[in-house]
Amino acid sequence: MPADLFRALEFPDLQRYVDEGREEGLHLEFKTVKGASFNSQDDKRNFARALSGFANSAGGIIVWGIDARRDTEGVDRASAMIPIDPAAQLLARLNELTGEFVEPRVDGVLHRAILSEGTAGVVLSLVPESLTGPHMAKAGEDRYYKRSGDSFYRMEHFDIGDMFGRRQQPDLAATIILRSDGSMSSGGVKRHRIRAILGISNSGRGSAVAPYISLRVHDPYRIDAYGIDGNRNEGLPRVAATEVGVTAYGGSTGVVIHPGTIHPVCAVRIEMLSPGSDPADLVVEYRVTAQDVRMKDGEVRISGATIISSHESGIPSTGA
């Protein structure tokens, strides 16, 4: 994923890209600049195209300070390290100009400098995939771009129309919220109970209608028959599941998960002995969708250590 790579890259990794001739790709672009002041119109247009193209596609990283050249097969590859000095000046300029070079603004764009020697180095720009596109490149471009292979291309009218039709989409995932469920003593042993509420979160810009989620809870845990409140109530009706060991839930069109909210679905009960051993990690595989929303598979987990700390602090804890 671009975000993971953005956080992990260090200068030796980038030097290896050059030494090995790393090729550009769907999520990776190499660029040089004419100066740390970033006043060149060509540099500004390159930035605007990348902001638009990566945001309108699957996201990506721009590495400022590496020259890419086409090989004999026509593939763009990293060919030389050209450090920017001072890298901090370019970093400041990118932070300053990000909001001006694309419309509407792309949320979540990040920049960081990696120094090679003294004040010189390279700068990385992370442009995430956007759910609020299409985004138009500015800086004299006034066009929409997408990423294909190792290049940005101008979007056709039908591409733009399709993206406008998909604006304000929900972004669904499973989440876990831990809550204390009291304690009881038996035979001199105290048992602490934690109720793990499994729900559907919506971090997108649009509302999710008629949500569906299937859950596979890993051993030693299972979905609690007493529901999310201890009175056998669950947040969505159960529906038939097609796989053994999977529990599925689905809502009608009257069920809506609004942006920035979590819809509780069911619960897992966790018991801890005092004194006793640490609880196992809670791991749940899920598949989630809603009306006109693409199906998403994922996994959500909370470690045994987090379960213990949540109990000791008495503060609800969320895992995703």
pLDDT per residue rounded down to tens, the chain (320 residues): 688 899 999 999 999 999 999 999 999 999 999 999 999 999 999 999 999 999 999 999 999 999 999 888 888 999 999 999 999 999 999 999 999 999 999 988 999 999 998 999 999 999 999 877 789 999 999 999 999 888 999 988 777 777 765 557 788 999 999 887 766 666 666 677 888 999 999 988 789 999 999 999 999 999 999 999 889 999 999 999 888 899 999 999 999 999 999 999 999 988 876 655 678 899 999 999 999 888 889 999 888 888 877 655 544 444 54
Closest CA to 11 of 81, 62, 59, 77: 81
Closest CA to 85 of 111, 110, 63, 115: 115
- 155 lies in the same domain as 12: yes
pLDDT at position 166 is 58
* Residue 69 CB partners (closer than 8 Å, separation 6+): 76, 77, 79
pLDDT at position 143 is 93
- 181 lies in the same domain as 90: no
pLDDT at position 167 is 58
Tokens of 24: 């550009």
- 153 lies in the same domain as 20: yes
- Can you give the CATH number for the domain in which 18 is found? 3.30.950.30
Last residue of a domain, one of 132, 165, 198: 165
Last residue of a domain, one of 165, 200, 224: 165
Report the C-alpha gap between 173 and 317 in whole angstroms.
17
- Can you give the CATH number for the domain in which 200 is found? 2.60.40
3-state SS of 64-102 is ECEEEEECCCCCEEEEEECCECCHHHHHHHHHHHHHHCE
Closest CA to 169 of 205, 139, 122: 205
Instruction: Tell me the pLDDT tens digit for each residue of 141-197.
Output: 999 999 988 899 998 877 777 776 555 778 899 999 988 776 666 666 667 788 899
Instruction: Tell me the pLDDT tens digit for each residue of 257-283.
Output: 999 999 999 999 888 766 556 788 999
- 155 lies in the same domain as 250: no
Three-class DSSP category at 224: coil
| Sheet of strand 143-148, all strands in order from the earlier edge strand to the far edge | 102-103, 136-137, 143-148, 151-154
Strands 28-31 and 60-64: parallel
User: Based on the structure, what is the number of domains in the chain?
Assistant: 2
- 189 lies in the same domain as 292: yes
Cβ atoms of 238 and 247 closer than 8 Å:
yes
- 192 lies in the same domain as 277: yes
- 149 lies in the same domain as 215: no
- 143 lies in the same domain as 190: no
Whether omega for the bond prior to residue 264 falls within 30 degrees of 0, making it cis, is no
- 36 lies in the same domain as 111: yes
- 155 lies in the same domain as 179: no
Report the C-alpha gap between 267 and 272 in whole angstroms.
16
Structural domain boundaries enclosing 25? 2-165
Last residue of a domain, one of 165, 193, 228: 165
- 177 lies in the same domain as 310: yes
Three-class DSSP category at 210: coil
- 106 lies in the same domain as 183: no
Give the helix/strand (H/E) hosting 26.
none
* Residue 61 CB partners (closer than 8 Å, separation 6+): 2, 5, 6, 9, 27, 28, 29, 124, 125, 126, 127
Closest CA to 98 of 51, 147, 33: 51
